[in-house]
Amino acid sequence: MKNQTYRMTMLYDFYGELLTERQKEFFDLYYNEDLSLAEIAENAGISRQGVRDVIVRAEGIMQEVEDKTGLIRRFEALRPHLDAIQSAAEEIQTINYRLYEDAHLGELAQRIQTEAAALKE
């Protein structure tokens, strides 16, 4: 994966619902809102180490699930193929518009793009 923050936000997107509310809150504040451990600790009324422990535990839980399931790894492997499918569908639409003006062909190309986009989400 690209970097630590990207990796952690991907883990959160895929597995965040496995965390407790407190883990979700601290993880979100740290990685998505870019608050420091000290800022989170001050707002939560606990120690900086306490915040760090919660975040590290959340990271560990999500990484363990990813290690077992490999969902993110498979998602990342599929992404270039979905991009290629969408690009080919766009090219079909362009060629159809310039040469054929076939409404059915245009609808099919649009459907391919829509389905590929849905798989990316």
CATH of domain 4-69: 1.10.10.10
Domain boundaries, the chain: 4-69, 75-120
Number of Cβ within a 10 Å radius of residue 5: 13
pTM, entire model: 0.76
Cβ atoms 66, 73 nearer than 8 A: yes
- At 72, which helix (H) or strand (E)? helix 71-95
- pLDDT tens digit at each of 121 positions of the chain: 458 899 999 999 999 999 999 999 999 999 999 999 999 999 999 999 999 999 999 999 999 999 999 999 999 999 999 999 999 999 999 999 999 999 999 999 999 999 999 988 7
